[in-house]
Structure 1
């Protein structure tokens, strides 16, 4: 809006009919048509900046559908809408998809709920290579589950991330906690997330793992595979890796490493937490009664 034009026209409103519109436009450094519009109707919508339509506007709905429903990438969507009449550039499509996903990530950010007995978070560290005293190579993953309120943890070394191994680790953690949290946040683990059925907005859980969770008495909260940046970083895993490093080439068996991990787990559960500034095992005594009861083990195995 040109407020200077409006103000000037208001000052000379009694003389407007006597003045040349082109001369007024020169004085006010604007187009004569602007003067004409403002004289006819100072409140006209026509003085609003003209909206410039993008070539992608007519295809946004199709693009979002392909992203949400199929998880399609930018290039495949670009090629698809080209066949539907889109004659714009690839970068316009790519930038639109990036911005759309960014907005969805902000809306979908999950926070680790610290309510009593409500949530736990599972993390599986990527493969760590350890070599024993005989030169045997072990490709190791670290399973960690952390209770939300007390920050009590259960850690175990594993050699794969299959569903069977994950279920066994969870059962052992429930025994360790003497109860089951109501919700478990699980990172994007293929053993849990059915990627064939998962879309950008909807995460599908493998049916057999979903049955396991129902029998155990917890709800699975899984991260969408496109949402790799929204989870809290588990500093405990980094501490454990540093603790294990000096044992490289100094241990004999895989059980030796798990003995080290068990001792480390007991230590951090008895140290003051940097998050709560209290000792996890002390807070756990308050949290324990809020956990769901342990189910019969025979229905979980």
Structure 2
């Protein structure tokens, strides 16, 4: 819309009938038809742009639901909504999901609290493949829990992501910490979240995991898988992966790998933290007394 044309015509509105449209067009450097359209259409200035509805609009709520509650990728969601009647392209879906995730990360306000004994963050999504000295392949998962105040870590390798394995890792971490943090932040993973009962508005924790958390004395805080990452957690996993890769095709058993991890765990807890600029095992001495007491192990099993 040419605002300058509208403004000029408004100034000379009482003389428009006396002026030649071609002359007006020459003065305003536009087509005479533009002058005629603006003179004849008295509502030009108040006209709103035509709203164009995208093919994806009717499916946005379903897409967000699948991304938030299931962590589904773009292709699986594209195939899913095609079955529901979507007839647009894959790139439209992929771009919408990328933009949505980026926007959510910007809007994240929940921080990893550094209060004494309050929070810990669990990560068990990292996986890698290792081959031993005899050519046997091991598909390995890394369990990591990080205390918020001291930045003390407990790391263990597992061979599956079942709920039973996750609970066992948590019990071992509580023994290592000699206490239980009051809150544990964990991703929306299948061993924690009941997918059948979880909706877009409400996340439902598996009954077994909920009972475990109550008996252990911690509150579960779930978060989306695309949350902004905690700096130290990411760097720890990166360092560990590089350390383990050095032993690819040289180790014999799974226990050999866990021995490497145990040694790495001790080293990383005695190095200066990137966040606190202090050594985790020293800060832990102050945090230890603020953790909830370690419950009897038999009630957790």
In 2, the alpha carbon distance for the partners of 1:183 and 1:193 equals 16
Number of equivalenced pairs: 285
For normalisation by structure 1, the TM-score amounts to 0.77
**Are the equivalent residues in 2 in contact too, given 1:156–1:258 (CA < 8 A)?**
yes
Checking the alignment, whether the CA contact within 8 Å between 1:56 and 1:92 is kept in structure 2 is no
Query: Per the alignment, do residues 69 and 13 of structure 1 end up closer, same or farther by CA in structure 2, a change over 3 Å counting?
Result: closer
Residue equivalent to 1:19:
19
Give the deviation of 1:170 after TM superposition: 0.7
Residues 228, 195 of structure 1: alpha-carbon distance in 2 compared, 3 angstrom cutoff: farther
Q: Does the 8 Å contact 2:186/2:222 carry over to 1?
A: yes
1:112 deviates by 2.9
Instruction: Give the corresponding residue for 1:94.
Output: 93
Indicate the larger mover: 92-101 or 268-277. Answer: 92-101
Q: Which string of whole-angstrom CA distances, capped at 9 and with x for unpartnered residues, describes residues 8-37 of structure 1?
A: 346545644533456434532233231345
Matches within 5 A, 1:128-139: 128-132=129-133, 137-139=137-139
1:207 aligns with 2:207: yes
Contact 1:111 1:231 in 2 (8 A): no
The change in CA–CA distance for 1:95 and 1:23 in structure 2 (over 3 A counts) is farther
**Do the aligned partners of 2:129 and 2:137 also contact (CA within 8 Å) in 1?**
no
What residue number does 1:34 align with?
38
Secondary structure of 1:180's counterpart equals coil
Which residue in the other structure is 1:290 paired with?
Answer: 290
1:85 matched to which residue of 2? none
Whole-angstrom CA distance in 2 between matches of 1:105 and 1:202: 19
Aligned match of 1:53:
51
Which 5+ residue runs of structure 2 have no aligned equivalent?
Answer: 68-75
Query: Against the structure 1 CA distance between its residues 90 and 157, is the aligned structure 2 distance closer, same or farther, given a 3 Å change threshold?
Result: closer
Alpha carbons of structure 1 residues 254 and 18: separation in structure 2 relative to 1, 3 Å: closer
Which stretches in structure 1 are left out of the alignment for 5+ residues?
Answer: 83-87
Deviation string 1:148-195 (CA, Å, 9 cap, x unpaired) is 222100112222222111111111111221222222222353322333
Q: Which residue of 2 aligns with 1:177?
A: 177
Corresponding residue SS for 1:126:
strand
Q: CA RMSD in A?
A: 3.4
What CA distance in whole angstroms lies between the structure 2 residues aligned with 1:24 and 1:278?
75
Alignment of 1:179-258 (within 5 A): 179-199=179-199, 202-224=202-224, 227-228=225-226, 230-232=228-230, 234-258=234-258
